[in-house]
Structure 1
Amino acid sequence: MKDLVDTAIQGRQISDLSLSDVSSAIGQGILGPVEVTQATLERIEQLNPVLKAYVTVTADHAMARAHEAEAEIRSGLRRGPLHGVPIAVKDLCETRFAPTTAGMGIYKNNDTGRDSTVVTRLEQAGAVILGKLAMTEGAYSGHHPDLPTPLNPWGKEFWAGSSSSGSGVATATGMAFATLGSDTGGSIRFPSNACGITGLKGTWGRVSRHGVYALADSLDHVGPMARTAADCAAMMSVIAGADPADPTTLNAPVPDYLDGIDSPIRGLRIGADAAMILEATAPDTAAMIASVIETYTSLGAVIVPINLPNDPDISKYWTSLCGIEVILAHKGTWPERKAEYGPYLGEALALGAGLSANDVGEALQWRLVYNGALARAMEPVDIVLLPVTEAPTPVLDNTLGAPGQPDNPELGDLLKLTAPADLAGLPSLTLPGGFDARGAPFGFQLMGKSLSEGLLLNAGHAFQKVTDFHARRPDLSSFI
């Protein structure tokens, strides 16, 4: 095993490795947590002033944790695959050792003095938390003008995704080996797609939201973003599970998602709606999806034609549902401190405040009908294949916000392909699927039934064993 790990890291910088590579190297004594953490902090110091992935770097805390992990591992205590591995969390996860801004100017020095459940679980697993990652204001669509706006490492002109853009940029550039993001309408999947990494939005309630600032509670999900499906499996095994502090979490056993991840997928039924994924997408996207289908067919999966509900009002109703709940999340600061809000979150709050009882009831009833139709459409298959966006990553000012606004028409109906999994609370795994003619990465998502994260990770790992899109790294010379 040591020889295999040596071969895996030979000639590669530490920052180029996956979480699984680093974990194996630490376990075999080839690398130590202190060396890896120091190298990653140096990487952050070099790149973050330009790419702006971090809003807070907790270097002293990280080095102290790395020394603890190194001492434990040398004494024979190995907590698992995250032990001694540097990671980072989106800045809506509360931490006792750093402020939590949630991307908001009003919380710039907000010290809650406590850890969110996900942070507690990561530290109990021995992970080394490097800091807090930049995000859009309140996890909505646009960045607050006074806070960092991350840049896409594949090209500063490209959209970096919303709202977990800092998580996507840090992971893609080796400023962390995995990160936490959140997803209400696609914010794990958009930056994973745009930054060429892997991201998992689990079943609603699979991961505790205790100590995580809300955008819209019934739509919010917390999940891992990393370079590979196996890396996401290692993260999900730690953060998933029931939590007494969050009564909405599911009381279901949590497997070790790495167990069985190498299982063959012959006979796996993958649903594909040709009208949605091929006929209604840009040529580059359709070609990428066709190639993905060919790869899965070669692995023995069975592609099953299905017809997913394709309601043109999905973005309208998602926006109403989000608007209802965002008002609750900001009770006490909106409208009392309205002037301190940025334009995009402010617009969402104004929309929510203007909804009538009839608007609310209509949106809630629509969601029930839509989720039922989606469940029926998925009955014949194990998982569903979808693009993340209809077209490749747009050239777009990353300060811009909500889909469908006049100042960023290039995003189009951004929620069409991602909102279904949030509305129904279904798990979805985003994987790198290729590169367009400009060299920008783009990918696809596998959406599953409730609590099918293990199956999705298995299918994602199978794809990544025979493709190398996840192993490619951006050329950062223009940022250094």
Structure 2
Amino acid sequence: MSSQTDLHYLEMHELSLLIRTGKLSPVEVTEAQLARIDRLDCDLHSYACVTPELALEQARLAERELAKGICRGPLHGIPIAVKDLLHTAGIPSSAGMPIHREFIPQEDATVVARLREAGAVLLGKLQMTEGAFAIHHPDYTPPNNPWHAGHWAGASSSGCGVATAAGLCYGSIGSDTGGSIRFPSAANGLTGLKPTWGRVSRYGCFELAASLDHIGPMTRSAKDALFLLSTIAGHDPRDPTSLPCVCLEIPGIDESFHGLRVGVDEAWLSDGVDPVIQSALQQVLGVMAAGGATLQRVCVPDPRAVSANWENHCGVQTAVAHSSTYPQFAAEYGPALSRLIDGGRALSGMDYQRVLLDAQRFNGELEALLNQVDLLIAPVQPIAAPTHEQLANLAQDPEANRRLIQFTAPFNVSGHPCLSLPCGFTDSGLPIGVQFIAGKGEEGLLCRAGMALQKVTDWHKARPASL
């Protein structure tokens, strides 16, 4: 591990201050990022598409505006990147699918438009699994984990995780349908926020499963996650499912645990969970208690049914999302996404209704629990830093797959916000993630808890030694 403080590893809120005070130039920072991408990404494969001309054009505009005293906000002049399922006007947006390789949108996704309006600099589009499901299309090279290429880089937002961890962007926008912000955040030592469903517009986002998809930030700190969320959140009339809420404001967040009620279900936290993760969670709980949090024993609603149902729940919706191209062009699909869609098309209406009833039950019981506590704590996954071989074996075992997503997918089904944070390392120095879960609309509370943890620990400051 290394605790470098190089320019490319600055947190966004640090870089923002340096840019707004004239100590760093947006053009200088953007040129440095593009050079670093050019040098390192041939091995990391995190970018699907780099946009150097656009990035430099936006950086020069930001520099001119800031020189005139025009500041659009904290992201003005900061280079970021977005997952390739977000539409970008004039830039290819393939969603990890060869069938869409030539698709060039005419307009930006709402999230991208809000980033442009905030003066952010777009470095490019980040690599992802096919259609945002579990596996990369066979024609594409998966991103490599910068901590160790033999280990998983996370699920569909793996390009976001790798680029942000490797200092190839200052933050990124990913998506999460069953854990795809939280898995790569844990795998790459990042802070990832899956907001409340509807908090961030999905307009212009390639769909995997409409009721499970969440768009959110992947960053190097909880404060940066709030930076990004405050820009992209808010009602969007073009997305009728977006919530009628205002954007989060950064000032006024109390960086402390004082008075927070933290729900702890010891049986759930230890069910098939690697001892190194259990130990890391206990350390986090100790930090929270020492900071003034009250730890309450709770019983989390049984997530086994919604975890086991997740693939059917997702598959039906994915089949609808792909109905214009599948099965007509099934030969151009990879095996994993084809299997998901075929399963969704085969599920009966009665069986899908049973899936929905289990989801409603879990959501209602979770809502009742979160009226008693402010936060729940959980692992991101039960396996610490899995290797590619371990993941390949899991793919053959439905029960092992259910266990892998048991701490993530239930909260896509329920729509509750979750924050993944680094909380330690394996014996071989690979990152481990902890997850906070809160009531709907409580992203500010999650970020408060994340900032409080990162104020007194430095796990989030560690960087891959190889870079």
TM-score, normalised to structure 1's length? 0.94
2:14 is the counterpart of 1:24: no
2:287 is the counterpart of 1:275: no
Instruction: Indicate if the aligned counterparts of 2:306 and 2:358 stay in contact, CA closer than 8 A.
Output: no
* Aligned counterpart for 1:375 among listed residues 367, 374, 398: 367
Instruction: Indicate if the aligned counterparts of 1:404 and 1:412 stay in contact, CA closer than 8 A.
Output: no
* Aligned counterpart for 1:394 among listed residues 362, 386, 389: 386
For residues 147-296 of structure 1, what are the structure 2 equivalents within 5 Å?
Answer: 147-256=140-249, 258-278=250-270, 280-296=272-288
Shift of residue 146 of structure 1?
Answer: 1.0
Instruction: Indicate if the aligned counterparts of 1:284 and 1:391 stay in contact, CA closer than 8 A.
Output: no
* Residue 63 (structure 1) aligns with: 56
* Aligned counterpart for 1:119 among listed residues 88, 112, 116: 112
Distance 1:325 1:11 in 2: 44
Q: Aligned in 2, Cα 1:394/1:210: closer, same or farther, shift over 3 Å?
A: same
- Which SS does the other structure have where 1:185 is aligned? coil
* Aligned counterpart for 2:447 among listed residues 452, 457, 462: 457
* Residue 80 (structure 1) aligns with: 73
* Residue 351 (structure 1) aligns with: 343
* Aligned counterpart for 1:138 among listed residues 123, 131, 134: 131
Residue identity opposite 2:416 in structure 1: L
Instruction: Indicate if the aligned counterparts of 1:272 and 1:304 stay in contact, CA closer than 8 A.
Output: yes
* Residue 431 (structure 2) aligns with: 441
- Which SS does the other structure have where 1:345 is aligned? helix
- Which SS does the other structure have where 1:31 is aligned? coil
1:161-204 C-alpha deviation (Å, 9 max, x unpaired): 00100000000011000000000100000000000000001000
Instruction: Indicate if the aligned counterparts of 1:48 and 1:54 stay in contact, CA closer than 8 A.
Output: yes
- Which SS does the other structure have where 2:353 is aligned? helix
Residue identity opposite 1:475 in structure 2: A
* Aligned counterpart for 1:51 among listed residues 4, 28, 44: 44
Percent identity between matched residues is 44
- Which SS does the other structure have where 2:236 is aligned? coil
Instruction: Indicate if the aligned counterparts of 2:306 and 2:355 stay in contact, CA closer than 8 A.
Output: no
Shift of residue 17 of structure 1?
Answer: 1.0
Residue identity opposite 1:136 in structure 2: T
* Residue 3 (structure 1) aligns with: none
* Aligned counterpart for 1:414 among listed residues 404, 411, 414: 404
Distance 1:125 1:443 in 2: 30
- Which SS does the other structure have where 1:224 is aligned? strand
Query: Is the deviation greater in 271-280 or in 359-368?
Result: 271-280
Instruction: Indicate if the aligned counterparts of 2:307 and 2:410 stay in contact, CA closer than 8 A.
Output: no
1:267-309 C-alpha deviation (Å, 9 max, x unpaired): 1001111101135421101000000000101111111111001
- Which SS does the other structure have where 1:313 is aligned? helix
* Residue 330 (structure 2) aligns with: 338
2:86 is the counterpart of 1:93: yes
Q: Aligned in 2, Cα 1:349/1:279: closer, same or farther, shift over 3 Å?
A: closer
Residue identity opposite 1:306 in structure 2: V
Distance 1:99 1:271 in 2: 44
* Residue 365 (structure 1) aligns with: 357
Distance 1:250 1:379 in 2: 20
Distance 1:369 1:391 in 2: 27
Residue identity opposite 1:299 in structure 2: G
Residue identity opposite 1:392 in structure 2: A
- Which SS does the other structure have where 2:378 is aligned? strand
Query: Structure 1: which 5+ residue stretches go unaligned?
Result: 1-9
Tell me how large the CA RMSD over aligned residues is: 1.7
Q: Aligned in 2, Cα 1:411/1:439: closer, same or farther, shift over 3 Å?
A: farther
Query: Is the deviation greater in 259-268 or in 214-223?
Result: 259-268
TM-score, normalised to structure 2's length? 0.97
Distance 1:373 1:311 in 2: 10
2:326 is the counterpart of 1:320: no
2:23 is the counterpart of 1:33: no
Instruction: Indicate if the aligned counterparts of 2:302 and 2:362 stay in contact, CA closer than 8 A.
Output: no
Q: How many residues align?
A: 465
Distance 1:94 1:44 in 2: 22
Instruction: Indicate if the aligned counterparts of 2:153 and 2:161 stay in contact, CA closer than 8 A.
Output: yes
Query: Structure 2: which 5+ residue stretches go unaligned?
Result: none
* Residue 421 (structure 2) aligns with: 431
1:202-231 C-alpha deviation (Å, 9 max, x unpaired): 000000000000000000000000000110
Distance 1:279 1:209 in 2: 34
Distance 1:103 1:51 in 2: 16
Query: Is the deviation greater in 374-383 or in 445-454?
Result: 374-383
Shift of residue 234 of structure 1?
Answer: 0.7
Instruction: Indicate if the aligned counterparts of 1:296 and 1:463 stay in contact, CA closer than 8 A.
Output: yes
Q: Aligned in 2, Cα 1:377/1:87: closer, same or farther, shift over 3 Å?
A: same
Distance 1:130 1:286 in 2: 38
Shift of residue 264 of structure 1?
Answer: 2.9
- Which SS does the other structure have where 1:367 is aligned? helix
Shift of residue 311 of structure 1?
Answer: 3.7
Residue identity opposite 2:325 in structure 1: T
1:108-159 C-alpha deviation (Å, 9 max, x unpaired): 1211221000000001000001000000000000000112310100100010
Instruction: Indicate if the aligned counterparts of 1:162 and 1:191 stay in contact, CA closer than 8 A.
Output: yes
2:459 is the counterpart of 1:469: yes
Instruction: Indicate if the aligned counterparts of 1:404 and 1:413 stay in contact, CA closer than 8 A.
Output: no
- Which SS does the other structure have where 2:172 is aligned? strand
Shift of residue 12 of structure 1?
Answer: 3.5
- Which SS does the other structure have where 1:98 is aligned? coil
Q: Aligned in 2, Cα 1:321/1:279: closer, same or farther, shift over 3 Å?
A: closer
- Which SS does the other structure have where 1:303 is aligned? strand
Shift of residue 380 of structure 1?
Answer: 1.0
* Residue 305 (structure 1) aligns with: 297
* Residue 321 (structure 2) aligns with: 329
